[in-house]
Every structure is written in C-alpha cells, then in structure tokens.
Structure 1
Amino acid sequence: MELRVIDKTDEELRIEIAGEDHTFMNVIKGALLETDGVAAATYDVNPEQSGGQTDPILSIKTEDGTDPLDALADASRSVQTMTDDFTTAFEAAL
C-alpha cells in the first residue's frame, strides 16, 4: 500500500491510497466516521471527478483541535482491532 498526502491543514487531509478499491476505502471511511473528532470522511475513485486520478483519494475533515493524521491513525487502529476480534471469534466458532 502506497500513501501520498495531497493536501494537509490543521483540520483537513486529502490522501491518495494507491492500489486500493471500494472494499478497503469503505472500511477506513466507516472507522473514521466513528472516530472522535472527525466531522466528515469520504473518498473518491471516479477519474472524471478527480482529474484523471485512478487511485482513491480519502478526504478527512476534523473538528477544531483534532489533527486529521491522528484521526486516521486512530481509525486504522480501530480497523486492526475489529479484524483481530473477528479472527478470534471465527477461530472460536470452528
């Protein structure tokens, strides 16, 4: 996975996530929307709307005082925890 920051301010972040599709992007967007301090999270994979861009671009808007990179890190840890919990439950069910 390759990441490239496109724009970053104190309360907004746009980051390209090369090689990913809707599957991953929906998961990380959902985790962001459940993260404290996140006002909005969305992504775009439409090349016509993103100037020919084919890799998804994740956009995050945070509330005052929340760094969007910190919010993304928190959301990433949340996804990892959900994955670990699912693996544990799945193995227990076998």
Structure 2
Amino acid sequence: MSTRPINSKLKKFKAECSYYDQSMEDYVSVDYDLAEERANHYDKALIELEQRLDFSQWVPERFGTRDVVILADNIIEIIYLEYARGAPVEVCWIE
C-alpha cells in the first residue's frame, strides 16, 4: 500500500475512533521500530503479520495471534504488542 492511502486511513481512524490517543500511537511506534530493527538484523527474513500460532503441541488447546513473526536463519522471533497497560505477559522461550 502506498503512503497516500495509509495516511488517509490513519486520518480517518484518528477522527472516528474514540479510543485513539497520541499515547497509543507512540506505544505502537516503539513496537514498529523494534520489529523493523529485528527484521533488518537478518540478510533474508520471512515476515508474517497478524499470524495465528498454535501452541497445542506444548500446551493443550492454546493458541494466539501474534503481531509480527520473523522467520530467519532457523530462528523464529515473535513480537507481540501488548497495549493492556499494566497487564503482565508471560513469555516462553523454546529452542
């Protein structure tokens, strides 16, 4: 998507969504910067957005949707935007 449609959609979102505020945009920008930095760490990376992940092999009936999944060099990096302020997020590393 080119810049013009993105800016148009963002302007409409800001005007119509009562829950939008500048702190939300700042918070998301930090995660965007992190995802871009991590993806640029690799020569070749497959990047998937809003990817549903199935963890049922390790935890029965567990799944989730992750904001950014980066696959490169036999490594999977998952970046998850947690905007629920003050809510702890449990992280599990599987190698």
TM-score, reference length from structure 1: 0.32
If asked which structure has higher relative contact order (CA below 8 Å, sep 6+), I would say 1
* Bigger Rg, which one: 2
Is the helix fraction higher in 1 or 2? 1
